[in-house]
């Protein structure tokens, strides 16, 4: 992990985002869920919302890191880029941004997290009455 500590935050953001954009279909195999599943729909929606690294705000970067560690992107946390897991890459972002509390605070200011993060998306699904699929698949 020593090498990734020296990486710039935008480079880490790009590595995580590129992995998800390239490997997003792995969610179907890993979680054994269909495209009708609210979590899967939320995952695909948020991946499409993240801007390219040069246009990403610090809030967007914080959102990606928090969703990777404890949100819609978490399913892929053990997946690797080289020797490092996506979780490790996002943890370095969190450290660069001042720790979990500070990064979470920044993420809450992200329009992406507020509108498309796990909490917002699943709440929207609940209000629309579509969480039945998720509840059934967890039984």
pLDDT digits (tens, 9 = 90+) for 9-64: 999 999 999 999 999 888 888 888 878 888 888 999 999 999 999 999 999 999 99
DSSP state of 71: S
Residue 119's domain comprises: 2-137
Q: Is the dihedral of CA 125, 28, 85, 50 positive or negative?
A: negative
Cβ 42 vs Cβ 121: under 8 Å: yes
CB atoms within 10 A of CB 73: 29
Phi/psi of residue 84, nearest 5 degrees: -115, 140
Token pair recorded at residue 88: 């490790």
Helix, strand or coil for residue 84?
strand
Q: How many structural domains are present in the chain?
A: 1
Please state the pTM of the whole predicted model. Answer: 0.86
Comparing 86 with 31, the larger pLDDT belongs to 86
């Amino acid at each position: 992990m020593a090498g990734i500590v020296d990486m710039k935050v935008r480079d880490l953001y790009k590595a995580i985002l590129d992995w998800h954009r390239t490997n997003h279909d792995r969610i179907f195999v890993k979680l054994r869920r269909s495209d009708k599943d609210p979590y899967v729909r939320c995952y695909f929606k948020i991946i499409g919302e993240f801007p390219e690294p040069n246009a990403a705000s610090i809030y967007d970067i914080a959102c990606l890191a928090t969703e990777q560690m404890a949100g819609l992107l978490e399913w892929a946390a053990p997946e690797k880029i080289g020797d490092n897991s996506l979780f490790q890459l996002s943890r370095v972002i969190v450290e660069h941004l001042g720790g979990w509390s500070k990064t979470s605070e920044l993420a809450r200011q992200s329009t992406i997290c507020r509108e498309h993060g796990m909490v917002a998306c699943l709440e929207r699904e609940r209000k629309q009455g579509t969480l039945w699929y998720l509840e059934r698949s967890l039984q």
